[in-house]
Structure formats: structure tokens, C-alpha cells
């Protein structure tokens, strides 16, 4: 608690003591929370998700590095065919994300695996596919779920 007196000399001393106390307090070791992305669903949408990974993690785990590379290649390849078919595509690097359908917001957290795809359209239960999928697999699933031809 900081007390303020009319005497400016004492104010400086009190402020200085308070500053020293604040600066010498132990710093919390609680990690920063991961920001949860929000996807607004207005039509047919695919949300591709992959866990956040930094360079040292990727260098230590060649399988994770290869999975990420495959995930990115197939996401790039599938984006345009889905767009032509009227399907919005998002690639996220997060353990969870929020989906807003109208006024309803739902949080999706990965359960079976950290990598996958969330297919959703208003009025229909979402379909979740886990693991890295090829662009052909994603287009086939989009065709099944959305009833589209994405060729």
C-alpha cells in the first residue's frame, strides 16, 4: 500500500520504497496461456490443426518435423480446390480453438491426436479426422461430408 502525503519529499521516499518492493518481488513461473483462436463459421469450413512447435522441438524430433512438413504441403495443395468448391480453409497451430456458429461458441480440444481436421457446416454435426491427411484424402472427406465435388 502506498501512502501519499502533501510533503513531496516523503512522497518520493514512499514511492521509491514501493518501487523497490515491487521490483524485488519474485517473478511467477506460471507459463503464459496459449491464445485460443476463434473461427466464425458462416458456411462449409475445414479447420486443420497442428500443435504449436518451436525450432528446438522440431530439431529434436524428426518425426514431428516431417509430420509438420507434410501437414503444411497438403494444406497448401488443398486450399485452392476447397476454395473453388466454396469451402473455407483454416490452418491453425494450437491445441484447441473455438468455433462460433451464430451465437453459440464451442471450444474444441484435441483428444486422440494433436494433428487433424475439423469439418463443419451450420446445421450439421462436425466431423473430425485425426492424423496428417493428404490433399486427396481431404478432398474426398470434404466431398463426403459437404456433398461437393472439389475437382
Specify the CATH number of the domain 38-146. 3.40.30.10
Domain ranges of the chain: 1-30, 38-146
The pTM is what?
0.75
- What is the DSSP secondary-structure string of the chain? -----S-HHHHHHHHHHHHHHHHHSPPP-PPPPPP--EEEESSSEEEEEE----HHHHHH-HHHHHHHHHHHHHHHHHHHHHHHTT-EEEEEESSEEEEEETTEEEEEE--S-S-EEEEEETTEEEEEEES---HHHHHHHHHHHH-----
For residue range 15-53, list pLDDT tens digits in order: 333 333 333 333 333 344 568 899 999 999 999 999 999
Residue 13: pLDDT band (50, 70, 90) is very low
Amino acid at each position: 500500500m502506498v501512502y501519499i502525503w502533501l510533503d513531496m519529499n516523503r512522497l518520493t521516499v514512499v514511492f521509491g520504497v514501493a518501487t523497490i518492493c515491487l521490483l524485488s518481488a519474485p517473478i511467477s513461473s506460471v507459463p503464459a496461456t496459449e491464445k485460443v483462436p476463434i473461427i466464425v463459421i458462416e458456411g462449409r469450413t475445414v479447420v486443420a490443426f497442428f500443435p504449436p512447435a518451436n525450432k528446438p522441438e522440431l530439431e529434436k524430433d524428426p518425426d514431428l518435423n516431417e509430420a509438420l512438413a507434410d501437414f503444411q504441403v497438403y494444406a497448401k495443395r488443398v486450399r485452392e480446390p476447397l476454395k473453388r468448391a466454396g469451402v473455407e480453409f483454416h490452418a491453425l497451430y494450437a491445441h484447441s480453438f473455438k468455433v462460433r456458429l451464430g451465437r453459440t461458441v464451442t471450444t474444441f480440444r484435441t483428444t486422440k491426436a494433436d494433428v487433424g481436421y475439423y469439418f463443419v457446416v451450420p446445421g450439421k454435426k462436425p466431423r473430425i479426422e485425426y492424423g496428417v491427411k493428404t490433399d486427396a484424402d481431404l478432398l474426398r472427406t470434404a466431398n463426403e461430408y459437404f456433398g461437393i465435388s472439389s475437382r
